[in-house]
Every structure is written in structure tokens, then in C-alpha cells.
């Protein structure tokens, strides 16, 4: 996982979050969930420091930019990194002369941070995230909502696919969207133009959505009956693979303008996904893309992955995709 992504603030429309006077040292985090009518779509900026959150274990740490100002790792200097457990601040000594630069157990390098600290941070972040994801999943299951986490590289055609999918489903099924991007509300605006509610989550420096962001965004959606919630994640095939959002399935979207070796280059994402959509098939005559080789590569890392080939432009595969969604939704509702 990326150990420095998410250090920046994220902004969620319609949600207000306030900390104590000193949010780096207070263990109490105060949430306020105003009842904002979805049709007003008035953005209220929320600031989150997700790496500082968690029900029990909070971290105060520095990101890559602040780490760059630390002394060179060739000098044996000590710095304190504070771990906050309950009301107690426990400084931990860090030896710069003992850094492994990505060759240790954490398998990544952040300047000025030891492998042991990175591994501990990763475990705590994912542990807190998974706890929140389990809560999200219980909430969605109780309401009969089918939740899909749409993941891909930038430019794969996620938003265009999503808007067309909504047009085909919205008359018969409740649909809602949580839209993730680093900046702008462009994609959420496109979703709202279909008449379906959407909440924009801007992750700032963060390169993925996490379970807390999804939890907070859901407070802005009126999910009073069963339906489909689409989470359009930030365009990135790396970090979103590690973060459970409480979804029923990840759906990875790969366009034919990308290489057929993408599943081998980014195996964690394809291993975590239930379905691979091969998008923009109308462009196959114009690109050098071996579609069968792509499917073969995906099944090398995930033998059970399902595959749908489609084109939003000419409609190929759209019926198979919507039938897949309706089948999952019916199964979810049958368990209520």
C-alpha cells in the first residue's frame, strides 16, 4: 500500500466534521451529520485527517514532504514519532542509521521512516479501515443496497459507463453514486445530470477512497430502500486494491487503449476484483490489443474473475453488464 497517500485533507460535499481545539492530540472526534436535502446539493467542505482517525489507535506522523526536511539517513539521528493510544502519548525512537529503503518487511521506502514504523502504520491504517468497512457492510446489507466499487486507471471510461448504466437502470431501480476524485466535481456533476443523487469526495493528495470517506458520504444520500450504490474510486490501480470500503464487489474496468498485460503489472487489483470489464471495444480495429491474451492474463492472477466485453458507444455488452447487476441486486434483496 501507499504509506503516505491520504495525508492531505479530503472534502466531502454536504458533510461537516469538527475536531477539538487540537485535533492532533484530542482522542475525541466530533461528527455532525446535518440533514441536507439531496436536491439542494449545497457543498459543505469537510476536512479529514484519515491517518489520525480510528476508534482506538491514532497516529501523528509526517508525510513525505516533511520527512524530506529531516537529516540524511546516513547520520544516526533520533526523532520521535508519537503514537496516541487513548489519552497517552507514547514517543517511539527512530534510528536513521537503520533504514532499509524498501528492502525490509514493509517493502516500500519513505524518507526518514524505518521499515518497522511503516509496517506498523500500514497495519494500523488497514485495521482501522477494515473495522469501518465492516460497519458499512452491515449498514448496506440491512438496507438491501448492492454496492459496487468501480476501479480503473484514469481514462478507462468509468464515468461514461456509469452514466449510461444509470440511464438503463434508474426507471426500475434506485441508484446512487459516491464519486471519488482528487479535485473538481466534474464527474459528480455528470452523474447528477442523469437525475440520480451523487456525492463528490475530493481526496486532495490522497489516491484512493477509504471506508470512513464512504461512511461520511453515505450520510448525504437518502438510502431508504434497496437499490444500487456505485462507488467510483479515484483512477488508480494500486492503492484502492488494499482498501475495503464495505462493498459487495470490486469491478475493475480496463479499456482496450491500455495494454493487455495490465493484469500482470497490477495483479493485486485484478485479484481483488469479481468482474473485469473490457471497455471501449469499438476501438479494437484501431488499436493493437489482444483481448483474449488480456483475459488469459487476468485469470492467471484470479482464476475466478468474470469478464464482460462492452462498448458504451455502440451498446455491445451493456445488456450483459446490466443483467449482471440486476442478478446481484436480486440476490442481495432475497437475503433481507
Q: Encode the chain (336 residues) as per-residue pLDDT tens digits.
A: 444 454 455 666 665 543 333 333 333 333 333 333 333 333 323 233 333 333 323 232 323 333 333 333 333 333 333 333 333 334 344 343 444 445 566 666 667 778 777 777 777 778 899 999 999 999 999 999 999 999 999 999 999 999 999 999 999 999 999 999 888 888 899 999 999 999 999 888 778 899 999 999 988 887 888 999 999 999 999 989 999 999 999 999 999 999 999 999 999 999 999 999 999 999 999 999 999 999 999 999 999 999 999 999 999 999 999 999 999 999 999 988
- The reply to whether 86 and 194 lie within a common domain is no
Cell numbers found for residue 73 = 539517513
Dihedral sign from CA coordinates of 324, 327, 329, 335: negative
Domains held by the chain: number: 2
Cell numbers found for residue 121 = 502504520
Cell numbers found for residue 213 = 470517506
Gap between the Cα atoms of 7 and 21, Å rounded: 20
Query: Structural domain of residue 197, as residue ranges?
Result: 11-18+135-334
Gap between the Cα atoms of 139 and 141, Å rounded: 6
- The reply to whether 168 and 310 lie within a common domain is yes
- From 68, 96, 126, the end of a domain falls on 126
Amino acid at each position: 500500500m501507499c504509506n503516505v497517500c491520504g495525508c492531505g485533507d479530503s472534502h466531502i460535499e454536504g458533510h461537516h466534521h469538527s475536531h477539538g481545539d487540537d485535533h492532533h492530540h484530542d482522542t475525541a472526534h466530533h461528527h455532525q451529520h446535518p440533514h441536507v436535502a439531496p436536491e439542494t446539493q449545497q457543498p459543505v467542505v469537510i476536512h479529514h485527517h484519515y491517518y489520525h482517525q480510528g476508534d482506538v489507535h491514532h497516529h501523528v506522523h509526517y508525510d513525505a514532504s516533511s520527512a524530506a526536511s529531516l537529516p540524511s539517513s546516513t547520520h544516526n539521528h533520533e526523532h520521535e514519532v508519537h503514537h496516541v493510544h487513548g489519552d497517552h502519548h507514547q514517543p517511539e525512537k527512530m534510528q536513521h542509521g537503520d533504514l532499509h529503503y524498501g528492502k525490509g518487511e514493509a517493502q516500500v521506502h519513505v524518507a526518514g521512516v524505518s521499515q518497522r514504523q511503516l509496517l506498523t502504520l500500514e497495519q494500523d491504517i488497514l485495521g482501522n479501515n477494515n473495522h469501518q468497512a465492516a460497519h458499512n457492510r452491515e449498514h448496506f446489507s440491512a438496507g438491501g443496497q448492492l454496492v459496487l466499487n468501480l476501479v480503473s486507471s484514469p481514462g478507462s471510461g468509468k464515468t461514461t459507463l456509469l452514466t449510461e448504466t444509470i440511464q438503463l437502470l434508474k426507471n426500475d431501480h434506485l441508484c446512487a453514486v459516491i464519486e471519488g476524485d482528487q479535485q473538481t466535481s466534474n464527474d459528480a456533476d455528470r452523474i447528477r445530470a442523469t437525475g440520480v443523487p451523487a456525492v463528490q469526495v475530493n481526496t486532495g493528495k490522497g489516491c484512493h477512497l477509504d471506508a470512513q470517506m464512504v461512511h461520511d458520504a453515505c450520510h448525504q444520500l437518502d438510502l431508504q430502500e434497496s437499490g444500487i450504490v456505485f462507488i467510483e474510486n479515484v483512477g488508480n490501480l494500486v492503492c484502492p486494491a488494499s482498501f475495503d470500503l464495505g462493498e459487495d464487489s470490486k469491478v475493475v474496468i480496463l479499456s482496450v487503449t491500455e495494454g493487455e498485460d495490465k493484469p500482470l503489472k497490477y495483479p493485486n487489483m485484478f485479484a481483488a476484483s469479481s468482474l473485469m470489464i473490457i471497455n471501449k471495444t469499438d476501438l479494437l480495429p484501431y488499436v493493437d490489443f489482444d483481448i483474449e491474451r488480456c483475459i488469459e492474463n487476468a485469470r492467471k492472477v484470479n482464476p475466478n474473475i468474470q469478464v464482460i466485453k462492452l462498448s458504451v458507444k455502440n451498446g455491445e455488452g451493456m445488456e450483459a453488464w446490466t443483467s449482471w447487476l440486476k442478478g446481484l441486486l436480486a440476490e442481495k434483496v432475497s437475503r433481507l
